[in-house]
Amino acid sequence: MSVIPLLVICSIIIAGGFLVAFLWAVGRGQYDDLHTPAMKIILDDRNTEQNDNNDNKRPRTS
């Protein structure tokens, strides 16, 4: 039963570490923009399709 206080102390220290890491990430702006990265994937696919179509129209030179 003497292990329980040790585990409680260790879990509080670990939880504090996660809290500090989270607050550090928020302070650095890690969670500022959640919408743009998802939109970049969609826009990148459109640009890739346009580039593929343009590449097919160009004459091939060897």
Distances in Å between the alpha carbon of 6 and those of 1, 3, 10?
Answer: 10, 5, 6
Which pLDDT value is given to residue 56?
Answer: 60
Give me the tens of pLDDT residue by residue for the chain, a chain 62 residues long: 799 999 999 999 999 999 999 999 999 988 887 778 777 777 776 555 566 666 566 665 65
The neighbour count for residue 26, using CB atoms within 10 Å, is 11
Residues 6+ apart with CB under 8 A from 25: 31
Distances in Å between the alpha carbon of 41 and those of 5, 32, 33, 44?
Answer: 48, 18, 15, 5
Which pLDDT value is given to residue 41?
Answer: 76
Which pLDDT value is given to residue 53?
Answer: 61
Which pLDDT value is given to residue 46?
Answer: 58
Asked if residue 36 lies in contact with residue 30, where contact means CB atoms within 8 angstroms, the answer is: no
